[in-house]
Structure 1
């Protein structure tokens, strides 16, 4: 495993990290096993917090806290709420400190609230002064100029942002200013929610000016594949590999949502959350990439099994609510064929919904508590 200096934090972090978002949907034993294996493979960067991912990380920290770089985050915008969330996370992690704490920052309005007097950044800075948090930063997956503006405030140590073979805007609008301020660069969505093979996506990303990447992992096979993709004598890509990257970029460029919700969302007469529907629905992406049989056989947490049927029934109803007016396509700056994408998804749902009804997990696990409650 390779390690890089995470900007002015001076932390040495593994080039490959673990995005803990998918851990929340796994049962406890599987999640803990995956995290333990990640550390064995040399991964030391763990990006949370999602659902109960912190409690799944806790046993590993009890044994190897000094080896782990733990990241948490919140969408809270006030100092008091951010401080409360820090304390909650410390309790769940059973740790005295969190290495990096990020503020979810999706819009310029959120950024203004975070940085204002009494805002969440002030809360994190107090937590840092008390030794509860060591470094602070921002996380965003839409308009990256918002994160760039945050970096210009000189209060940001680390940013978490999307960068992959298809989504490259960070190379121009975010990374240069981050480098100028020596800000740590952590990359989310390196395989574009599973659309790009790790063997193509991760070596390309390793050649970009970033410090760590945190693909979401939901099984040991996926974790091992990610590590294998970066086990190279040299990181430089061959001409054949560069050509393969170019092929994937051409293939996906016209169907990859960039999550700029403020552009398309407001014009939808049905009020559809478009990016969530066509791009970053965790459950749909897992189903699409695994196939029906493997999806149903996966070790999902009881609370997750309880809610799967309702989730996909809601998705199907939302897909069917699309009026095909085309307003979203007229606003999309990337020219995505959103109506065609929605039509293609319609056929994916009936078989899964029927299988979930047959298994009746919604009844079997009806009392399973959700970590998101």
Structure 2
């Protein structure tokens, strides 16, 4: 038995969790062990990409290894891979064929534009060579449906969804970053599948929560609370980039609980979320940024809401390690993340009359930099 699968665009239904394959890269045998644990957690959807180092060939070998043992989820594995924007039609066609060869499959259940992050990327995918490539993949049956992943602005994501070209999307929608939640809801209402990108890691390093956050989320573990919040919001599936089988413990726990019908009730969930929000608001006091985005645009291009969100997490819930990690990627990850940190603030004051809460934004930005600036860490890929 298994819990009901969840609709995902125009493709087959998917599990509540999706196994991301960018970390289980020790060997094909290691990948196979993680796949086995994913099966044990009720997972049927795999997400990979040529940009994830040896992920595709390792995954293809692991799938053949499990197939030889007669192991597969009910209905078989569903596989989504990606293609970076910018190539011409012929190069994109060869990239897709190469992915299929590495994976050892005849088609993809999902083909996504990997990082639709800029207006140029959207033009490529909607009106340029990318549009021809995506249509060719559908017409030839090499992909069941097409979608995109995005680290871009809410406005860009809204524009991409409005094209009508995509049947699924992968977005940064998290318990501790709900900026894109309205976009996710709109996509779901339109029948577009939504995958939440890395709620365990990029959602706040919730697999290793600080003591303050553990107390704030009680009686739930922070990761469990985040998972339950997103699934309760109707998000189609949550990506889980497991590096080892043990990383799937919370997904398996959720699956076993769903089978037994002992999931947390909505009143318990709502009460825990209310306590969490109240705890953070009390610690931040009058300096809490409400993430309304009324301060934008900044004349100097400072991403004010995102920077103050990191300050909210550090001060409000003791999430300094996560906030520092994200803050120190700024300017070092190209179009995958913000390019300006709080040092770009010129204290011009343009944001001050716009803030409905009267926040001293330049002062808070300076405090953010003082708290979070540290030696940078290298991104996993790129």
Q: Deviation string for 1:76-104 (max 9, x for gaps)?
A: 23433332221221122122211101112
1:38 corresponds to 2:38: yes
Give distance in 1, aligned partners of 2:349 and 2:22.
32
Preserved contact between residue 139 and residue 147 of structure 1 (Cα < 8 Å): no
Which position in structure 1 is the counterpart of 2:169? 159
1:212 corresponds to 2:237: yes
Structure-to-structure mapping, 1:85-100, within 5 angstroms: 85-100=95-110
Q: CA deviation at 1:112?
A: 1.5
1:69 corresponds to 2:78: yes
Match of 1:241 among 269, 281, 289: 269
More helix by share: 1
Q: Deviation string for 1:185-213 (max 9, x for gaps)?
A: 22213230424732111111111122211
Preserved contact between residue 206 and residue 235 of structure 1 (Cα < 8 Å): no
Which position in structure 2 is the counterpart of 1:53? 55
Which position in structure 2 is the counterpart of 1:187? 196
Give distance in 2, aligned partners of 1:342 and 1:29.
43
Structure-to-structure mapping, 1:1-373, within 5 angstroms: 1-24=2-25, 26=26, 28-49=28-49, 50-62=52-64, 63=67, 67-77=76-86, 78-103=88-113, 104-116=115-127, 118-180=128-190, 182-191=191-200, 192-195=203-206, 197-230=222-255, 231-232=257-258, 233-235=261-263, 237-249=265-277, 251=280, 267=301, 324=343, 326-327=345-346, 340=367, 342-344=369-371
TM-score (norm 2): 0.65
Q: Deviation string for 1:271-297 (max 9, x for gaps)?
A: xxx98xx89xxxxxxxx58xxxxxxxx
Partner SS, residue 221 of structure 1: helix
Query: RMSD of the alignment, in Å?
Result: 4.2
Q: CA deviation at 1:111?
A: 0.9
Preserved contact between residue 83 and residue 124 of structure 1 (Cα < 8 Å): no
Partner SS, residue 201 of structure 1: helix
Give distance in 2, aligned partners of 1:53 and 1:265.
42
Q: CA deviation at 1:347?
A: 6.3
Give distance in 2, aligned partners of 1:343 and 1:208.
35
Partner SS, residue 144 of structure 2: strand
Give distance in 2, aligned partners of 1:132 and 1:331.
51
TM-score (norm 1): 0.67
> In structure 2, do the counterparts of structure 1 residues 93 and 331 end up closer, same or farther at CA, with 3 Å as the change threshold?
farther
Q: Gaps (5+ residues) in structure 2? A: 210-221, 312-320, 323-328, 334-339
Q: Deviation string for 1:246-271 (max 9, x for gaps)?
A: 4445649969999xxx9789757xxx
Aligned length: 306
